[in-house]
Amino acid sequence: MSGTKTFSMPLGPVHVALEEPVYFNLTVEGEIVRKTHLTSGHVHRGMEALAMRRNIFQNATLVERVCSLCSNSHSFTYAMVVENALCMHIPERARYLRVIAEETKRIASHLFNTAIQAHIIGFHSLFMHVMEVRELMQDMKETVYGNRMNIAANCVGGAKQDINLKKQEYILKQLELIEPQIREIQDIYANDPMVHTRTYGLGLLPVDDAIALGVVGPVARGSGITDDCRKDSPYAAYGDLDFNVITETGCCAWSRVQVRLRECYESLSLIRQCIDRMPEGDIRAPLGKLTVNSAVARTEAPRGEVFYFIRTNGTDVPERLKWRVPSYMNWEALSVMMKDCNVADVALITNSIDPCVSCTER
């Protein structure tokens, strides 16, 4: 390309490769992307305004619909922030139940992202295989909680439903089935030449940039930053459980997927530990006193740190409910990752941060 000509290439908002409506305007020079411009707001549903019109019980359901892939993290953090504002202490058993729900969703979410990566690479048989493995998790959610996506495990004060012995046995059985499959999948993603050549070294986010941009979750951990709310400020039962924070130092799309898949093992072990150590007892605490108060809470969602703020005014309708989602931080990193990449890599790099448009735009 001697006479450098740039073209602008629109992508979206409704496109077969996009799960969610976003409008990309790429400025390309031949095959190389020189500039990306993003128009968002298609999934804006005015949820923060809605949350200020609904009461605290309704909001537990509303925030679960921020995004269905990390739905449990939202209702979890929301329940925590309300409990902080109302000075409530939840029963010990509920803490463990919450961890089980959260880790179940985490495995399903990570497997979904991993599968989509194979889909974008064009490795459809691998995509289908990972999705079939994910179905084991989906069946587990449906059998234990009653829904495949919005599991409604949390309510203000504890957990909505108990997991009895029969269900515990079922969970352990499903985990037994899924563990070797995930190990196999991790090996394929790590060593398969097709996946490796396509993703290794792609979408580089050096450590300095990662720190400067404040990325969170597997994107940060894929760049070698040890950042995990579950360890940094233990909540629910995480303080009593043993697990490792997974990091990779490759700073690329391959590393992020490896972080996600290796986190699945930690999640499997966390669920097993919870079932093992879960004490008997109540699963819900009575509602605390509604006063004028404000509180914050943060948890580690599959995509990174979710942060909630609430201000109550003595009624059961919050005066302000505000949340920050991990994708908001990670979106910015795309400009670093996509610098001078090929057009064919745009979708792959975007997927590597596990973007959630509906979280970010809510």
Partner 1 sequence: MAGFLKVLLRNVLQGPSTDPYPLGPTFSPDSIRGKVVVDPTMCIGCGMCVHVCTAGAINIQHNENGHVITIYRNSCCLCANCHLYCPTGAITLTDDWHSAHEQAVKYQQIEQQHIDYEPCLGCGTPVRVMPLALVSKLYAGKPDVDPEHVRHLCPRCRQMEDAVRTYNLQHPEAPASGNDEA
Partner 2 sequence: MSNLLNKLSVRSPWLFRINAGSCNGCDVELATTALIPRFDVERFGCRYCGSPRHADVVLITGPVTLKMRDKVLKLWDEIPNPKVTVAVGICPISGGVFRDSYSLAEPLDHLIPVDVNVPGCPPRPQAILEGVVLAKKIWMRKLGIEEG
Binding-site ranges for partner 2 (CB under 8 A): 13-16, 19-21, 41-47, 49-50, 53, 61-62, 65-69, 71, 112, 119, 127-128, 131-132, 135, 138, 142, 147-150, 356, 358
Question: DSSP string of 316-351?
Answer: SS-SEEEEE-HHHHHHHHHHHHTTT-BGGGHHHHHH
| Cβ-based nearer residue to partner 1, 33 or 144 | 144
| Cβ-based nearer residue to partner 1, 81 or 152 | 152
| Cβ-based nearer residue to partner 1, 160 or 221 | 160
Q: Is 143 in the site for partner 1 (CB under 8 A)?
A: yes
243: left (phi over 0), alpha (psi -120 to 50) or beta: beta
What does the DSSP 8-state code read for residue 98? H
Q: 105, 95, 115, 83: which is closest to 150 by C-alpha?
A: 105
- Can you read off the two tokens belonging to residue 312? 């109550």
- CA 315 to chain CA centroid, nearest Å: 31
Give the CA distances from residue 132 to residues 186, 223, 247, 265, in Å, rounded to whole numbers and listed in that order: 15, 29, 27, 18
- CA 83 to chain CA centroid, nearest Å: 22
**Binding partner 1 by CB under 8 A: which of 25, 40, 84, 150?**
150
Binding mask 60-89 for partner 1 (x = CB under 8 A): xxx-xx------------------------
Shortest approach of partner 1 to residue 109 CB, angstroms?
20
Q: Which does 27 bind (CB under 5 to 8 A by kind): partner 2, partner 1, none?
A: none
| Cβ-based nearer residue to partner 1, 181 or 269 | 181
Count of residues near partner 1 by CB under 8 A? 33
Contact criterion met (CB below 8 Å) for 347 and 119 = no
Shortest approach of partner 2 to residue 23 CB, angstroms?
9
Q: Is 58 in the site for partner 1 (CB under 8 A)?
A: yes
